[in-house]
Amino acid sequence: MDVWHSRSQAAKALTSKYGTVAAAIKQCRPYRIPKGFARWDELCTAMAVLINAVEGVDRATLLHGHRCGLWLSQNAPLYLVRTAVLRACEHTDIDFAADNKLLAGLNEPPIRTALFLLPSNALIAPDGGCVDWAVVHISDREHPELSQGEYELAGNTYRFPWLPHQNDYRYNWQWSTLDTRCSTLFSGFDIANDGSLIQGPPTLGTSELTGADLEFTHHVRNILLQLLLIASYQPSLISGEGNPPATPKGNPPRRSQTRYWQPRVISMPKSELRSPREGKRAGGGSGKREHWRRGHWRNQPVGAGRRSRRLIWIKPMIIGAEP
């Protein structure tokens, strides 16, 4: 499904109403975010508004709030994405063709819920808003307990129940965000038993999707799917131990005892940080300009009898670069 919800002035109006909840989230999940990314206090405000979404708002916002609540209740794993990784994902193909069984033979997803923090202003939507972060969740119909949670904030108990799948596939994958112009973006797909990725048509009742909107949501979807694959199957690109254990009920620590959390960081090796230089000619007198050769993901058989599977990222490369 793909959803683009028109800008909601309600989000701005609710900011002051839920300021206490936002402050509690900031205290219970005291991340320290470097410059160049969304401010943590602004993200906490967005979370406070979203988890208090009530009936009467569009379904995309309700689902987004539910996924944000799950993320908070599951110890809020956060991944900071460096620009080089984002650009490499943009130059890597994800094939949604029916015969491409990308996830065939892989074990259960090691990471089911995560928030990816993207470089500020790196992804600009057709309406001018920027996607600076997104929550990703994989729902498993055989383990509904992994897609429900409970969390206490500012004297209130928030419960996030299991939402049954609308089909017979075991896994359903979703991402969602609130961009800088208060548009709710929500997209998802199913994972078939044979590992195929099943992308359905828009199903949440919106009539505002344009061709540009669809193209952008698919672009962001492909990036976030790859980031989840990197976080799950490319541990060499991850640094940092993430946040320390949190108290189950979300009791904030005393200010004098605050221990800041550090996000995990997804980054490229220094040897792979170069980008094509605009107007730069390749060496050898060929006259060709430097350019990207697109990458792709490969599901490769490994091990005894080649019965196991491993997901490998064939990274994009710069062609025509001088040695």
Looking at the predicted structure, is the pLDDT value of residue 195 above 90? no
Residue 137 near residue 71 (C-beta atoms within 8 A): yes
Overall residue count recorded for the chain in this entry: 323
Taking the C-alpha atoms of residue 314 and residue 306, their distance in angstroms, rounded to an integer, is: 20
Looking at the predicted structure, is the pLDDT value of residue 251 above 90? no
Per-residue confidence (pLDDT) for residue 248, from 0 to 100:
46
Per-residue confidence (pLDDT) for residue 1, from 0 to 100:
46
Per-residue confidence (pLDDT) for residue 10, from 0 to 100:
46
Per-residue confidence (pLDDT) for residue 224, from 0 to 100:
94
Average of per-residue pLDDT across 308-314: 87
291 vs 99 pLDDT, higher one:
291
Per-residue confidence (pLDDT) for residue 55, from 0 to 100:
58
CB neighbour list of residue 139: distance below 8 Å, 6 or more residues apart: 147, 163, 165, 171, 172, 173, 174
Looking at the predicted structure, is the pLDDT value of residue 114 above 60? yes
Per-residue confidence (pLDDT) for residue 213, from 0 to 100:
85
What is the rounded average pLDDT for all residues in the chain? 82
Per-residue confidence (pLDDT) for residue 82, from 0 to 100:
96
Looking at the predicted structure, is the pLDDT value of residue 160 above 80? yes
- Residue 141: band (very low, low, confident or very high) from pLDDT cuts 50, 70, 90: very high
Residue 139 near residue 163 (C-beta atoms within 8 A): yes
Taking the C-alpha atoms of residue 132 and residue 38, their distance in angstroms, rounded to an integer, is: 6
Residues 39-48 have pLDDT tens digits of 999 999 999 9
Looking at the predicted structure, is the pLDDT value of residue 249 above 60? no
